Each structure stands twice: as C-alpha cells, then as structure tokens.
Structure 1
Amino acid sequence: MAHYRAPDPKREQFRRYLEKAGVVDSLTSVLVSLYEQPEKPNNALEFVKEHLNSGGQTSADAEALQQEVIDLRQRCARLAEENEDFKSRLQRYEPEDGATAD
C-alpha cells in the first residue's frame, strides 16, 4: 500500500513561485509544441532551448526589429557617404602645404 506524503511547504512555495513567474506556462507551452511536432527532432533538448530562448517574442516583434536594423544600416551607409562628401569638400578649401591662414 502506498503511503500518502503531505506536500512539503518549501516545495509548494517554490511551485507557486514558478507559476507566478510564468515558468510553468512557458515550459508547458514548449513541451506541447514538441509533442505536436509531426516529426520529432533528433535533439529534444536543443528544441526546448531554442523555443525557450524566443522569450515569448512574437514574429511581429522580430519582424519589426529586423526592419529597424535594415533602416539603421541604410541610414549609416547614407551618413558615411555624406561624411566622405564633406571630407572631399573640406580638402578643397584646406591649404595644400599644411600652413594655416592668418
């Protein structure tokens, strides 16, 4: 006959902490996703790590961030071209021999 063991208060407190922090929901979600995969991955641990690392970030968030990176790279390239243009203009007005004008 199995003996009933009363729940340990520390365990129960830790379980509530994990639930409150959303850890239980996140783990459950990832495990359900793994369960629903038609072809199971060779490395289940890697699957869990990858899906937990997403941090609940939606694809819309990821797309917005990718678009921002593209925009910032274009702006950086434009500013670099503008900087080179200003440098070449400035060289036209600087004295050739390095002497300063008084």
Structure 2
Amino acid sequence: MAYYKATDSKCEQFQRYLEKSKVLDILTKVLVAFYEEPEKPNSALEFLKHHLGATSPENLEIALLHLELAEMKEKYEAVVEENKKQSKACSA
C-alpha cells in the first residue's frame, strides 16, 4: 500500500503543478473549442497543434485570446437574455 500512496502523492503534485502553470486550463479550453467546432477538421491533431500554437509562442497567446473572446461573447449573450427576462417580468 505504501507504493500506491507514494504514487498518489506524485500524481497529486504533478496535478497541482499543471493547475498552477495553467496547462489544464489551456488544454480544457482548446478541447472545448474542438468539441464545439461545427465542422470537425480532417485532422484532430492538426487542429490541436494549431490552437495550442505549436508553430510559435505568439500563436498560443492568440488562440487563448480567441477562446477567451468566445467565452466572453457567450457570457454576454447570457446576460442579455437574463436582462430581457427580468425586463419582461418587471413590466408585467
């Protein structure tokens, strides 16, 4: 059993490292973007490489900004809808 505890500890440390360095956030955002892609690309690997900025560090930052923009647009639309519902409820 001691072996499993040591492994769990290493896994937990590695997971905390990935969380602290934002790797999990970046991977999650890219995978969500891939999932939400209306037309799936022929090469999933190329899609991931492109969105992770495999060609240059600047591309990664741009891809993250695009993902963040998409998230903000979704939040904005949700707030607009919520405001419309509240406006209708107040006027009724």
For the aligned pair, the TM-score class normalised by the smaller chain equals: 0.5 to 0.7
Q: Which one has a larger percent helix, Structure 1 or Structure 2?
A: 2
1:8 aligned counterpart, secondary structure? helix
5-14 or 34-43, which moves further after superposition? 5-14
1:55 aligned counterpart, secondary structure? helix
Q: Find 2:60's aligned residue among 55, 58, 62.
A: 55
- AA paired with 1:18? L
Task: Find the counterpart in structure 2 of residue 84 from structure 1.
Answer: none
Q: Distance in 2 between matches of 1:56 and 1:16?
A: 22
Structure 1 portions without partners, runs of 5+: 60-102
Task: Answer with 1 or 2: which has the greater Rg.
Answer: 1
1:12 aligned counterpart, secondary structure? helix
Q: Report percent identity of matched pairs.
A: 56
Deviation at 1:55, TM superposition (A): 1.7
Provide the TM-score with structure 2 as the length reference. Answer: 0.54
- AA paired with 1:45? L
Task: Find the counterpart in structure 2 of residue 37 from structure 1.
Answer: 37
Structure 1 segments of 4 or more deviating over 3 A? none
* Higher RCO (Cα < 8 Å, 6 or more apart): 2
Equivalent residue pairs, number: 55
